[in-house]
Amino acid sequence: MKAVTWHGKRDVRVEEVPDPAIKEPNDAIIRVTSSGICGSDLHLYEVLGPFMAEGDILGHEPMGIVEEVGSGISTIKPGDRVVIPFNIACGHCHMCGMELYAQCETTQVREHGMGAALFGYTKLYGHVPGGQAEYLRVPEAQFGPIKVPEGPPDERFVYLSDVLPTSWQAVEYAHIPEGGSVAVFGLGPIGQMSARIARHLGHRVIGVDGVTARLEMARRHGIEVVDASEVSDVPGEIRQRTDGRGTDSVIDAVGMEAHGSPAAKLAQTITGLLPDVVAAPLMANAGVDRLAALNQAIDSVRRGGVISITGVYGGMTDPMPMLRMFDKGITIRMGQANVRKWISALMPLLTDDTDPLGVMDFTTHRMPLEQAPEAYEMFQKKADGAVKILLKP
């Protein structure tokens, strides 16, 4: 089959690789019909190379048709249309019983002290082949796959794999009071959908970004915006718009590669030039994140407010302004999305013909799998108005 494979910094290729096969009774094989490129995939493209191996298959936002199931599977069958959550959870361990599916004890990557295994996302998360491919082996398929109706296009449902549950959780974790306000830093895919969900739930939303296409998309969906390319003091602007207090909550949808952190950018660049045997332990034990967005979030939230972090960070000793955080009484909540926890809330919004979350105005580019290298470059450079790219095998 054809698959998108990693070969180094900014070097992804489409290659012929062996077809996946059933290995365990709870496996399934799906024929992929759509697979998204996630903002966190760009971390593999740029920063997290020390934890990758040449030829790793990328991608964790797939959906498709069930082709084959193992002997232990009774919940899905060949021919079913399914979306595959990006994290791999068993559904029956202690953590899954608490609906903390991103911490599944059956698939935890204990060798590296990490949570549940993820598709296509480094050896830190299990080295599981990803879904930017023609076919995908799905472990723990007795629980993970989400059956969706026939008929509507893939764009209606594919974002249940990651974007929608991650964004819903970001809003839930933000604990926005009724009628309250939230600032969303970063209007990439997660930020866009977090802003739409918060607005759908009745909150005032202020989106922050510096990319014209992203700002325009947010405006189309009724989001108030701050253009970070034109405003020198973004937290000051947010406070000015909120009676001098700041918003009740902030969602950081940016993560480790924020603009405006030159020292950390230099650290990332130097780390990327080191041999993997040196770079991997450095990244696992040092502060290598660019914290500009998080620092602005801390400045922008009102006293006693909540910051929800959904952007991916990778450093272990990043400096935090603890005095300011303590003095303001800030609560911070974060983590990988517990995908299956949020599906019951999201599914009615996707089967509603009025499309309240605007999922049909979300994909900016649909490209064949063979053009994945061009798609990654376009997304990384934010070129041609790229906000969300779907690959079609």
Indicate whether 281 and 143 sit together in one domain: no
Choose from 39-48, 197-206, 264-273 the range with maximum mean pLDDT.
197-206
Question: What DSSP string runs through 289-338?
Answer: -B-HHHHHHHHHEEEEEEEEE-S----SS----HHHHHHHT-EEEE-S--
Mean pLDDT of 18-43: 96
CB 146 within 8 Å of CB 343:
yes
pLDDT given at position 256: 62
Based on the number of CB atoms within 10 Å of its own CB, is 2 exposed (0-12), middle (13-18) or buried (19 or more)? Answer: middle
Kindly tell me if the per-residue pLDDT of 219 is higher than 60. yes
Per the structure, the count of domains in the chain is: 2
Indicate whether 152 and 9 sit together in one domain: yes
Choose from 36-45, 47-56, 186-195, 313-322 the range with maximum mean pLDDT.
186-195
Confidence of residue 311 (pLDDT cuts 50, 70, 90): confident
Indicate whether 75 and 182 sit together in one domain: no
CATH number at 215 reads 3.40.50.720
Indicate whether 35 and 92 sit together in one domain: yes
Indicate whether 9 and 31 sit together in one domain: yes
Indicate whether 153 and 176 sit together in one domain: no
CB 168 within 8 Å of CB 89:
no
Kindly tell me if the per-residue pLDDT of 277 is higher than 80. no
End-to-end, the C-alpha distance of the chain in Å comes to 10
Range of the domain at 325: 166-334
Read off the pLDDT of residues 145-170 as tens digits, 9 standing for 90 and up. 999 999 999 999 999 999 999 999 99
Kindly tell me if the per-residue pLDDT of 279 is higher than 80. no
H-assigned helices in the chain: 41-46, 94-97, 163-174, 189-200, 212-220, 234-241, 262-273, 276-285, 292-300, 322-328, 343-351, 372-381
pLDDT given at position 260: 45
Its pTM stands at 0.91
CATH number at 95 reads 3.90.180.10
Kindly tell me if the per-residue pLDDT of 276 is higher than 70. no
Spatial distance between the Cα atoms of 342 and 336, rounded to a whole number of angstroms = 13
Indicate whether 225 and 263 sit together in one domain: yes
Sign of CA dihedral 242, 246, 247, 250: positive
